[in-house]
Amino acid sequence: MVTATQWIVGELYLGFNRNGLPVWKQPGGPGTPVLPAAPALFPEVFQGYQQQVMSYPSLYVAGCNHQFNCYEIFEVLSPNDGHQVALVCCPICSYIQEIIDPYANYQNYMDTPIVIA
């Protein structure tokens, strides 16, 4: 028997594995940064030419410390009350940044003009 789960902000929606292999770790538990993180420091070894900081231009940085330009939105059925909710997630690791309940609030531009999680 499959039991329904309630999602919480800060956990990984798709879990830690991809294609059966462990990819992500969250040593501090839900709500903490996810490893591996994107590089954000200078390279440690001098390579003989001017080096730039190893970071990527982005619009958003989620609580997992990944940088990206667009959130991934999952429409899921809430196990408690049986209606649709929107999970605003990191597109890299599926870290749940925000839960918009009901899903109609995400679809209505007057209620949610832009996702600013």
Task: Summarize pLDDT for 21-75 with one digit per residue, the tens.
Answer: 999 999 999 999 999 887 666 666 666 666 666 566 788 888 998 888 899 999 9
Inform me whether the pLDDT recorded for 1 exceeds 50: no
Q: Which long-range contacts (CB under 8 A, 24 or more apart) does 22-26 make?
A: 23/93, 24/93
* Helices (H), ranges, 1-117: 103-107
Confidence of residue 9 (pLDDT cuts 50, 70, 90): very high
Asked whether residue 108 carries a pLDDT value surpassing 70, the answer given is yes
* 98, 115 contact by CB (below 8 A): yes
Q: How far apart are CA 76 and CA 2, in angstroms?
A: 16
Q: What are the phi and psi torsion angles at 84 (to 5°)?
A: -75, 140
Domain boundaries, the chain: 1-35+58-117
Q: How confident is the model at residue 3 (pLDDT cuts 50, 70, 90)?
A: very low
What is this structure's pTM? 0.78
